[in-house]
DNA sequence: AGGCAGGTGGCCA
DNA sequence: TGGCCACCTGCC
């Protein structure tokens, strides 16, 4: 499916490195993931690239949806080559360490939901929350596997019921956002057609969506690769690798977009992968 | 066993 | 603007 083979480590980084929260490791290097109405299994296959499979009744929609989800129409090799690795030795070694690392193109609705849940939580816990949301409030796709609830569905769920999905104070964000989106048909979809800056401003009108969450939603759910989400980890990374000690998050985000350019978000993913491999994060 | 966590929003100088 | 703190609660 992919033009270049993905090593098991890079595949793990793509599906379980904080971009998405609905992939789980199965035996024998297989990953199973759920997005929109799709369920798929993935397995690295050496030089043959990446093998996929899906439940028979979903084979058609997964065959259609998987390439878009993995962004196979984008030439990540070219995007990576356009990053400033020639003048940035740290970036260069990150790129070399994770060949084939890519950004997923996830459904916008789901990306917003997941990152609204992400505040001060680690990946494992975010995965638990969204799994509960899916099991309790999302439509069953195949026996035992549910998709995430749509915002229309979330608008019918009480804040208390959301809290019982381990959301804690994030339940209020999700609940209020659901009410707002319920009154604004097409509001989310319009973001796709707005310039980055305006799309981000619009997103930030939603409760629980600040700078960081807005950038994650735009990067992972709307293909805005110039977005450069700044969380505590990227702050530490930038301090350590680029000597930005004492910089405010907004300054770091600005530096990131200036230094890394049009695909700053792609660079950010590599920086993350590197630090995680060092045992941080 | 208890602190801490991949943010945000509100309040204060 | 810039800093500080409450917000929930399940993991390590």
Does the C-beta of A96 come within 7 A of strand C?
no
Ranges of each domain in chain A: 1-73, 75-100+223-281, 108-210
CA–C1' A248–C3 (A): 12
CA of A250 and C1' of C2: distance in angstroms? 12
Contacts of A144 (CB under 8 A, 6+ apart): none
Is A1-73 CATH 3.40.1000?
no
8-state DSSP, A6: -
Å: A255 CA to B11 C1': 29
**A81 phi and psi angles, rounded to 5 deg:** -65, -25
Q: Is A155 exposed, middle or buried (0-12, 13-18, 19+ CB in 10 A)?
A: middle
Phi then psi for A98, rounded to 5 degrees? -130, 60
Our measurement of CA A19 to C1' C7, in angstroms, reads 25
Q: Sign (positive/negative) of CA torsion A154, A231, A90, A82?
A: positive
CA distance linking residue A141 with residue A135, whole number of Å: 11
Bridge partners (DSSP) listed for residue A140: A146
**Which residues of chain A between 167 and 186 are close to nucleic strand C, CB under 7 A?**
168-169, 172
Per-residue confidence (pLDDT) for residue A246, from 0 to 100: 87
Nucleotides on chain B within 7 angstroms of protein Cβ: 5-9
CATH class of A75-100+223-281: mainly alpha
The predicted structure's pLDDT at residue A3? 66
Instruction: Report if CB A163 to strand C is under 7 Å.
Output: yes
Token digits of residue A108? 């916008």
Query: CATH homologous superfamily of domain A108-210?
Result: Hypothetical protein; domain 2 (1.10.340.30)
Q: State residue A137's pLDDT score.
A: 98
| Residue A12 confidence (pLDDT) | 96
Phi, psi (deg, nearest 5) at residue A8: -55, -40
The residue assigned the tokens 């490791």 is: A25
Q: Is it true that A1-73 and A75-100+223-281 share their CATH fold?
A: no
Q: What is the pLDDT along chain A (281 residues), one digit of tens a residue?
A: 776 789 999 999 999 999 999 999 999 999 999 999 999 999 998 777 899 999 999 999 999 999 999 999 999 999 999 999 999 999 999 999 999 999 999 999 999 999 999 999 999 999 999 999 999 999 999 999 999 999 999 999 999 999 999 999 999 999 999 999 999 989 999 999 999 999 999 999 999 999 999 999 999 999 999 999 999 999 999 999 999 988 999 999 999 999 999 999 999 999 999 999 998 65
Global pTM reads 0.97
**pLDDT score, position A4:** 75
Residue with tokens 């707002």: A180
CA of A46 to C1' of C4 (A): 51
Our measurement of the distance from residue A120's CA atom to the centroid of its chain's CA atoms, rounded to an integer in Å, reads 16
């Amino acid at each position: 499916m992919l033009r270049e083979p993905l090593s098991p480590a890079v595949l793990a980084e793509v599906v379980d490195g904080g971009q998405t929260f609905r992939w789980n490791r199965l035996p024998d290097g297989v990953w199973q993931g759920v997005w929109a109405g799709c369920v798929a299994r993935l397995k690295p296959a050496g030089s043959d690239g990446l093998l996929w499979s899906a439940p028979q009744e979903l084979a058609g929609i997964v065959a259609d949806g998987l390439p878009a989800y993995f962004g196979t129409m984008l030439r990540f090799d070219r995007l990576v080559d356009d990053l400033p690795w020639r003048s940035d030795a740290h970036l260069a070694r990150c790129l070399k360490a994770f060949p084939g690392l890519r950004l997923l193109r996830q459904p916008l609705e789901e990306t917003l939901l997941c990152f609204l849940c992400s505040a001060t939580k680690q990946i494992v816990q975010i995965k638990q929350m969204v799994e509960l949301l899916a099991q309790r409030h999302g439509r069953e796709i195949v026996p035992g596997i549910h998709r995430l609830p749509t915002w229309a569905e979330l608008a019918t769920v009480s804040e208390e019921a959301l809290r019982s999905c381990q959301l804690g104070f994030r339940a209020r964000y999700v609940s209020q956002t659901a009410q707002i989106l319920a009154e604004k048909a097409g509001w989310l979809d319009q973001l796709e057609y707005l310039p980055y800056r305006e799309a981000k401003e619009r997103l930030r009108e939603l409760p629980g969506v600040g700078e960081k969450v807005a950038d994650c939603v735009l990067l992972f759910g709307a293909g805005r690769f110039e977005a450069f989400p700044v969380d505590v980890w990227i702050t530490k990374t930038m301090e350590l690798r680029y000597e930005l000690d004492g910089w405010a998050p907004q300054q770091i985000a600005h530096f990131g977009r200036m230094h890394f350019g049009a695909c700053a978000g792609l660079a950010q993913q590599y920086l993350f992968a590197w630090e995680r491999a060092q045992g941080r994060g």
